[in-house]
Chains A and B, each alone.
Chain A
Amino acid sequence: GQNIDQPTEMTATEGAIVQINCTYQTSGFNGLFWYQQHAGEAPTFLSYNVLDGLEEKGRFSSFLSRSKGYSYLLLKELQMKDSASYLCAVRDRAYNTDKLIFGTGTRLQVFP
């Protein structure tokens, strides 16, 4: 089965940097996704890591270590609009399926 852990809540100040961690235990691993979700809205894709290392995309970066079952999402130059939930999801390709299994999400509040 899959077990995905991330902190429930985090706070940060506008302009700062925040790192959201995600650890996972899976029976099969085929990549890790990060999504942003504002309250009541659909998740929106942020990043996808399948190999170890850092993927940078503007103010957002995502890191993966497959041997440690660990990923983080790094948000730089925080803005008020970054207040949202950030969902870590593992890609499960076992048994003739290809789907995402999500963690419970980290609610980030950015203060002025």
Chain B
Amino acid sequence: DSGVTQTPKHLITATGQRVTLRCSPRSGDLSVYWYQQSLDQGLQFLIQYYNGEERAKGNILERFSAQQFPDLHSELNLSSLELGDSALYFCASSVVGAAADYTFGSGTRLTVV
């Protein structure tokens, strides 16, 4: 157990729907990163939060949004889902937002049908 908790582990939903993925960072970590990994692809950086504030944004679609709450957990909201959104979504956390300290969660596998 890495200490980073992602729920749910698996999610199957239909096109056009909206889902919320949740990430609880390791105790004491202030920063959360979201990555998307499509089949046979590398991890694509989506967004970073640090202590509740957005710190960096990557290739995140306008249909996707995220936030980090006062208790430091984060949610990634995916709306108007398309078949191409099917992927593994990973969350990583670090203490002070330092990439050298990444800890990954086990991921959420999203399947859009």
Binding site for B on A (CB under 8 A): 30-31, 33, 40-45, 48, 87, 89, 91-93, 95-105, 107
Report the minimum CB–CB distance from B23 to chain A (whole Å).
Answer: 12
Residues of A contacting B45 with CB < 8 Å? Answer: 99-102
> Is B42 a contact partner of A104 (Cβ separation < 8 A)?
yes
Residues of B contacting A31 with CB < 8 Å? Answer: 99-100
Q: Which of B14-22, B66-74, B78-86, B103-111 contacts A (4 or more CB under 8 A)?
A: B103-111
> Is B42 a contact partner of A103 (Cβ separation < 8 A)?
yes
> Is A42 a contact partner of B33 (Cβ separation < 8 A)?
no
Q: How large is the interface on B (under 10, 10 to 19, 20 to 34, 35 or more residues)?
A: 20 to 34
> Is B107 a contact partner of A87 (Cβ separation < 8 A)?
no
Known: A97-B56, A104-B41. A42 touches B106 (CB 8 A): yes
30 A–B contact pairs at CB < 8 A? A30-B99, A33-B99, A41-B106, A42-B2, A42-B90, A42-B104, A42-B106, A42-B107, A43-B90, A44-B104, A87-B42, A89-B43, A95-B56, A97-B48, A97-B56, A97-B97, A98-B94, A99-B45, A99-B56, A99-B99, A100-B99, A100-B102, A101-B45, A102-B35, A102-B42, A102-B43, A103-B42, A105-B41, A105-B42, A107-B40
